[in-house]
C-alpha cells in the first residue's frame, strides 16, 4: 500500500543540478530500509522555482524540500519517512514550519500566491512520461468532447470567444488564425507547433513540453479537426533533449491508446503528429523560416503575403501556433470561453508564462493573469533584486523586446500596455537588471546576439544591425563621438521599417527602448567618457581614498602594469595614464579604500 508520494523535479534545470542522482539515492535508500512498496517516486516537470533546485515534495504532508543533494537522502528517509519528522533545514523557508500533522501549501507562498497556472497546470504535478496520469487530470477529455459533440466551426467559435491571443510574441488572435486556415480550400492542410524557443533566458515552452507533453498533442489534434488537417509537425530545437524524448514517448503512447492515428475516438477523423528537430537558429522562430526548415531547406523567412494560412508548409494551408498557445486549448474547450475570458484584461485574456531571470532572487517560471502589475512580478513573486541592489529595468521579449525602466514598475503587463510604452510582450522572457547594469552594454549584448543569428537574407538586417553594433561597441569602449547617438537612432528606425521579417523588424527594439528611457547613459558615455553604472571597463576610473588606505601595498603588488605607487603605511596613488582598468586593485583591497567610478 502506498502511503507517501515523492515528487522529484526532472525538468532541465533540476536535472542539470543533479535530480537524477537524488532519485537514484532515494531508490537505493528506500530499498535498504524496506520502504520501496510504501513510497512511490514520481519524476515530474518543472515546479517553477528553478533557483531552489533540485526540488522534491513529499505528500500527503506537502513538505517542499529545496536544494536537495544525494547526501541529504539518508537523513530525509530516516527522519521524515520513517520517523515522521521533516528535515527542517531543507524545507523551503516560505512554506513555513512543516510537521507531520500540518501540511504546507505552496499556493500560500509569495512566489505562487499571485500566480494562476493554466498552461502549466500539470507541470510539477504529474509524471510526463505516463499517459495515465495525464488522463487522470482530465487529459484528452477535451478532444473527446470535440470529436463527439462539436463541429469544426463550434470549436473555432469557442477559441474566438475566449479571446486567446498567440503567446509566441505577436499576440495575433488565435481564433482568427484558425478561422483563416479553416476557410482555405485545399486537398491537404497542416498543423504546426513552433517549439523553437531561441530568446536568451527563455524556457517557457521547454518546460511545458517537459512537464505536460500530452497537452500539446491533444491541442494540436483539436486544431487539426477544427481547420481540416490530418497531419501535424512539432518543430523543436535539438538543444532540448529531455523535451524531445518526452514528446516522442507521448506520441508513442497516444498512438497505443488510439488518441493519434486513424479514426480517433472511433470517428472518421484521423490525425498524426511528427517531430522535426531544429539546429538552434534563432531565425527559425519566425514562422515562415520555420516552415522552410521543416521542408528541408535553409531556414530563411519568406515574404508575406501569402500568409501560412493560405500557403504554408509544402505550399499548403498551414496553422502555426507556439507551445504555450496550444497548451491553453484543452482547458478552454473543457471550461468554456467565458471561463478563460474572465481572466486577464479586456483585450488580453487569460494568463501568460514568463521566465524570470537575471538580477532577481527567485529565478524561475511563473504564470500570471494578464494585466498583473510588473511590481507584483518583480517584488512579490521574484523577491526583488538580491544583495540590496536597486531594481533598474527589465528586458521583456528577449532581443525582439524592450526595456521597461524602474519608473514604470507599476505598468500592467498585457499586450496593449507594453506596446504603448514602446516595448512588447514577446514570447515571455523577462530579464531583470539592477543598478550595476549598464543599459548601453545591455543593448550591445542583445544586438550582438541578433547580428550572430541574422539569416542574412535581407540587407537591412544583415548590414544595418552590424553597423548599429559597431556604434554601440565604439560608445562602450569610450570612443563615442558627437552624432553617434543620432546616427544609431536613425539606423535603428531604418532597420525596423525595411527588414523583411518580424525578427529583423524588431531587432532594433532594445536599442530604441534604452535610448527612450536611458538616453542620459548614452550621453554620459559619449560626452563625459563615463559609464554611470561603472560597468564598461574602458570608461572605469579607479581611485584610492587616502582616508581609508592603510598603506598595506597589496594593490601595488598585485597590479599587473605597476601603475600604483606609494610608501608602506602611507596612502598609495594610481597613475591614471598607465591604468589598464583591469580592476585587480579593487578586488584585492581589504579596506574598501579603492572605488570604481
**Res 95: pLDDT:** 55
How many other C-beta atoms lie within 10 A of the C-beta of residue 388?
Answer: 7
pLDDT bin (cut points 50, 70, 90) of residue 100 is very low
Burial class of residue 201, CB neighbours in 10 A (0-12, 13-18, 19+): middle
What element of type H or E holds 31? Answer: helix 19-32
Q: Taking the CA atoms of the chain, what radius of gyration do you get in angstroms?
A: 27
Mapped onto helix, strand or coil, the DSSP state of residue 61 is: coil
* Dihedral angle of Cα 122, 170, 396, 499, to the nearest 10 degrees: 140
Residue 107 has pLDDT above 80, yes or no: no
Residue 391 grid coordinates:
531594481
Residues whose CB is less than 8 angstroms from the CB of residue 295 and which lie 6 or more positions away in sequence, other chains included: 313, 314
Residue 560 has pLDDT above 80, yes or no: yes
Could you say which DSSP state residue 194 is in?
A: E
**Res 170: pLDDT:** 79
Least confident of 312-316, 395-399, 446-450, 474-478: 395-399
Range 74-100 average pLDDT: 81
Among 306, 324, 415, smallest CA distance to 365 is for 324
**Res 105: pLDDT:** 62
pLDDT bin (cut points 50, 70, 90) of residue 110 is confident
Residue reference for cell 589598464:
580
Range 317-336 average pLDDT: 97
pLDDT bin (cut points 50, 70, 90) of residue 399 is confident
Residue 166 grid coordinates:
498567440
pLDDT bin (cut points 50, 70, 90) of residue 57 is very high
| Tens-digit pLDDT profile for residues 195-245 | 998 888 889 999 999 999 999 999 999 999 999 999 999 999 999 999 999
| Tens-digit pLDDT profile for residues 113-167 | 899 999 999 999 999 999 999 999 999 999 999 999 999 999 999 999 999 999 9
The pTM (predicted TM-score) of the whole model is: 0.91
Mapped onto helix, strand or coil, the DSSP state of residue 469 is: helix
| Tens-digit pLDDT profile for residues 479-511 | 999 999 999 999 999 999 999 988 889 889 999
**Res 255: pLDDT:** 98
Least confident of 290-294, 540-544, 560-564: 540-544
Strand order in the sheet with 39-44: 39-44, 4-9, 56-59, 63-65
**Res 121: pLDDT:** 96
Residue 314 has pLDDT above 60, yes or no: yes
pLDDT bin (cut points 50, 70, 90) of residue 101 is very low
**CA 254 – CA 256 distance, rounded (Å):** 5
Find out whether 326 and 193 touch, Cβ atoms under 8 Å. Answer: yes
Residue 449 has pLDDT above 50, yes or no: yes
**Res 125: pLDDT:** 94
Mean pLDDT of the chain: 93
Residue 353 has pLDDT above 90, yes or no: yes
**CA 300 – CA 525 distance, rounded (Å):** 37
**CA 587 – CA 573 distance, rounded (Å):** 16
Residue 354 has pLDDT above 90, yes or no: yes
| Tens-digit pLDDT profile for residues 513-546 | 999 999 999 999 999 999 999 889 888 889 999 9
Mapped onto helix, strand or coil, the DSSP state of residue 141 is: helix
Beta strands in 500-546 (DSSP E): 542-544
Strand order in the sheet with 190-195: 272-278, 231-237, 190-195, 318-322
Amino acid at each position: 500500500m502506498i502511503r507517501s508520494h515523492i515528487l522529484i523535479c526532472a525538468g532541465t534545470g533540476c536535472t542539470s543540478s543533479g535530480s537524477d542522482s537524488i532519485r537514484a539515492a532515494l531508490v537505493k535508500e528506500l530499498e535498504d530500509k524496506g520502504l520501496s512498496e510504501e513510497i512511490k517516486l514520481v519524476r515530474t516537470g518543472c515546479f517553477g522555482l528553478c533557483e531552489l533546485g533540485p526540488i522534491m515534495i513529499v505528500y500527503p504532508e506537502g513538505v517542499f524540500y529545496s536544494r536537495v543533494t544525494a547526501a541529504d537522502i539518508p537523513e530525509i528517509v530516516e527522519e521524515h519517512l520513517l520517523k515522521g519528522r521533516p528535515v527542517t533545514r531543507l524545507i523551503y523557508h516560505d512554506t513555513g514550519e512543516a510537521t507531520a500533522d500540518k501540511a504546507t501549501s505552496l499556493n500560500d507562498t509569495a512566489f505562487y500566491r499571485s500566480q494562476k497556472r493554466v498552461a502549466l497546470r500539470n507541470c510539477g504535478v504529474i509524471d510526463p512520461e505516463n499517459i495515465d496520469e495525464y488522463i487522470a487530470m482530465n487529459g484528452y477529455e477535451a478532444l473527446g468532447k470535440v470529436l463527439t459533440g462539436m463541429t469544426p466551426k463550434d470549436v473555432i467559435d469557442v477559441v474566438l470567444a475566449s479571446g486567446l491571443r498567440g503567446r509566441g510574441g505577436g499576440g495575433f488572435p488565435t481564433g482568427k488564425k484558425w478561422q483563416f486556415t479553416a476557410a482555405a480550400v485545399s486537398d491537404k492542410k497542416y498543423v504546426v507547433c513552433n517549439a523553437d524557443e531561441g530568446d536568451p533566458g527563455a524556457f517557457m515552452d521547454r518546460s511545458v513540453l517537459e512537464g505536460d507533453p500530452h497537452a500539446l498533442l491533444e491541442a494540436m489534434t483539436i486544431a487539426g479537426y477544427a481547420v481540416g488537417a490530418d497531419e501535424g509537425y512539432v518543430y523543436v530545437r535539438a538543444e532540448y533533449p529531455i523535451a524531445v524524448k518526452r514528446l516522442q514517448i507521448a506520441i508513442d503512447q497516444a498512438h497505443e491508446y488510439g488518441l493519434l492515428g486513424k479514426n480517433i475516438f472511433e470517428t472518421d477523423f484521423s490525425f498524426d503528429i511528427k517531430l522535426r528537430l531544429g539546429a538552434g537558429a534563432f531565425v527559425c522562430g519566425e514562422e515562415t523560416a520555420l516552415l522552410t526548415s521543416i521542408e528541408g531547406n535553409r531556414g530563411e523567412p519568406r515574404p508575406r503575403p501569402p500568409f501560412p494560412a493560405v500557403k504554408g508548409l509544402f505550399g499548403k494551408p498551414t496553422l502555426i501556433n507556439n507551445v504555450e498557445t496550444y497548451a491553453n486549448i484543452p482547458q478552454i474547450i473543457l471550461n468554456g470561453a467565458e471561463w478563460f475570458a474572465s481572466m486577464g484584461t479586456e483585450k488580453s485574456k487569460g494568463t501568460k508564462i514568463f521566465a524570470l531571470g537575471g538580477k532577481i532572487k527567485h529565478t524561475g517560471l511563473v504564470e500570471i493573469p494578464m494585466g498583473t502589475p510588473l511590481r507584483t512580478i518583480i517584488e512579490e513573486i521574484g523577491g526583488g533584486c538580491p544583495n540590496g541592489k536597486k531594481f533598474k529595468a527589465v528586458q521583456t521579449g528577449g532581443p525582439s523586446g524592450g526595456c521597461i525602466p524602474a519608473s514604470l514598475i507599476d505598468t500592467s503587463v498585457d499586450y496593449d500596455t507594453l506596446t504603448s510604452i514602446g516595448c512588447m510582450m514577446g514570447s515571455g522572457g523577462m530579464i531583470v537588471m539592477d543598478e550595476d547594469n549598464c543599459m548601453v552594454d545591455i543593448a550591445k549584448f542583445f544586438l550582438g546576439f541578433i547580428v550572430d543569428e541574422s539569416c542574412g537574407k535581407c540587407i537591412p538586417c544583415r548590414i544595418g544591425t552590424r553597423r548599429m553594433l559597431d556604434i554601440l561597441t565604439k560608445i562602450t569602449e569610450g570612443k563615442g563621438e558627437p552624432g553617434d547617438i543620432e546616427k544609431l537612432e536613425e539606423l535603428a528606425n531604418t532597420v525596423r521599417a525595411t527588414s523583411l521579417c518580424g525578427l529583423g523588424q524588431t531587432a532594433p527594439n532594445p536599442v530604441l527602448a534604452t535610448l527612450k528611457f536611458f538616453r542620459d547613459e548614452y550621453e554620459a558615455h559619449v560626452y563625459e567618457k563615463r559609464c554611470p553604472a561603472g560597468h564598461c571597463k574602458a570608461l572605469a576610473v579607479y581611485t584610492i581614498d587616502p582616508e581609508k588606505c592603510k598603506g598595506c601595498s597589496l594593490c601595488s603588488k598585485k597590479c599587473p602594469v605597476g601603475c600604483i605607487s606609494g610608501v608602506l603605511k602611507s596612502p598609495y596613488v594610481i597613475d591614471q595614464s598607465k591604468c589598464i582598468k583591469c580592476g585587480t586593485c579593487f578586488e584585492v583591497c581589504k579596506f574598501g579604500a579603492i572605488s570604481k567610478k
